[in-house]
Structure 1
Amino acid sequence: MKSDVKIRSDVLAELDYDPAVTSTDVGVTVKEGVVTLSGPVTSYAEKRAIERAVQRVHGVRAVAVEMSVRMPTGHERVDTDLASAAERALQWHVLVPDGKIRPLVENGWITLEGEVEWAYQSHAAETAVQSLVGVVGVTNRIAVRPRFSPADIQRNIEQALLRQAHRESQHIDIAVDNAVVTLSGKVHSWAERTAAQGAAMAAPGVGRVINHLLVES
């Protein structure tokens, strides 16, 4: 079992290794495999990059994010300009269906609303706006209206897990409530946890995935 000291050392090394992370004053504390991130960052995109970098480190069981986005001087954007930029970003993204998603902006925080048929379209819309200059946060309220039954969704996820992660699939329980999928059980690493969530999210008809998978210590 990796110690908290070793996990913290590996997290700091991974943050230093990731070219998308430029902030040098991110606070990192570790207790029983749970990593807490604190301090200011210069953009929402960097905040998300830091979160992803930490999740890649073996031994990390959970991540608590207490970072705040503080725009450097000259990078601030009024909400009107940011809303226009978000709308254009959605229009230009090939995976986002035309006219289905509306961006709402308040104090630099973008809220996405609308309705799509696939979860990947909702994720693509969120990705399209999170790297815009001036964004301090994104809330995704896009509804996914599936054309598949819960039984179809569960069967597709089970088959995907067997194809992609046979060892882990034996220990993963899948519950489907309309378009919401809940994963529970145990996996061997954070990467396996993320892979299982990705397999579930890619299934036709899935609107949201609640990931309750535990990483074995």
Structure 2
Amino acid sequence: MSWDDDVTADVNDELFWDPKVDSAAIAVSADDGTVTLRGTVGSLREKREAQKAAQRVFGVISVNNQLKVRLLDGQGRADSDLRGLVLQALMLDSLVPTTVDAKVTDGFVTLTGTVDWQYQRDEADLVASNIAGALEVFNEIGIAPSAPNLADMEDSITKAFKRNAAVDADGIQLSTIDGAVTVKGTVRSWAERDEAIAAAWAAPGVTSVRDDLMIKY
């Protein structure tokens, strides 16, 4: 078997192993470490969980998620009803500020507004994606830090990398311009990549993070 055949088999096994994913209608292919997922799933959350499962597999460099959300009878909602459910869920989550709004078109949710931190943006995206009936979530929330501190941003992020046992700081390089951070270099897994990007976003004053990291096994 080729390397891609092994990756495909391992991703299939991981999808089957994950109880949050119904792998019966998912087809997997791999090309030089790039995994493509095709087929249908019952919810947007399941689509995202399938991608996470694929990213956990050794040898996977990137995931092209082409899964389609196909709602079961009775799960479809009018756009106005879906928007109301999304807004209510956002309001009930203490991590999401009231500056976040949502609109819905044909089951596709678009999040707008501004927040101070990336974690708030991520939380709003997670909350919206968990609402039954949502086919996809487009996150257009902007980040407007209330008190940017650009002077020691690069040093602070570098120290965060070194504190994190899951990150090999020696393989990562940083550059910052007016709150925009670029992270490049090599990491050993998707998990390490996620840790590095999360650490970069956590620095005060960061408005965007460009991920130029390469996964090398």
TM-score by length of 2: 0.93
CA distance in 2, matches of 1:166, 1:43: 31
CA distance in 2, matches of 1:187, 1:107: 39
Contact 2:180–2:207 (CA<8 Å) still a contact in 1? yes
Structure 1 unmatched ranges of 5 or more = none
TM-score by length of 1: 0.93
CA distance in 2, matches of 1:58, 1:178: 36
Note the alpha carbon deviations across 1:173-206, whole angstroms, 9 max, x for none.
1122334322111112222112211221222233
Tell me the matched-pair count. 215
Shift, 1:18, TM fit:
1.0
Shift, 1:67, TM fit:
1.4
Q: Does 1:162 align with 2:168?
A: no
CA distance in 1, matches of 2:121, 2:101: 12
Match of 1:107 in 2: 106
1:33-182 to 2 correspondence within 5 Å?
A: 33-97=33-97, 99-146=98-145, 147-165=147-165, 168-182=168-182
Contact 1:35–1:62 (CA<8 Å) still a contact in 2? yes
State the SS of the aligned residue for 2:114: strand
Name the CA shift for 1:214/1:88 in 2 (closer, same or farther; >3 Å): same
Letter in 2 for 1:11: V
Match of 1:17 in 2: 17
> RCO greater where, 1 or 2, for CA within 8 Å and sep 6 or more?
1
Shift, 1:142, TM fit:
0.9
Structure 2 unmatched ranges of 5 or more = none
Q: CA RMSD in A?
A: 1.7
State the SS of the aligned residue for 2:88: helix
Name the CA shift for 1:33/1:144 in 2 (closer, same or farther; >3 Å): same
The percentage of aligned residue pairs carrying the same residue is 37
Q: Which range is displaced more, 66-75 or 174-183?
A: 174-183
Name the CA shift for 1:177/1:70 in 2 (closer, same or farther; >3 Å): farther
Contact 1:23–1:42 (CA<8 Å) still a contact in 2? no
Name the CA shift for 1:111/1:8 in 2 (closer, same or farther; >3 Å): same
Contact 1:119–1:205 (CA<8 Å) still a contact in 2? no
Match of 1:26 in 2: 26
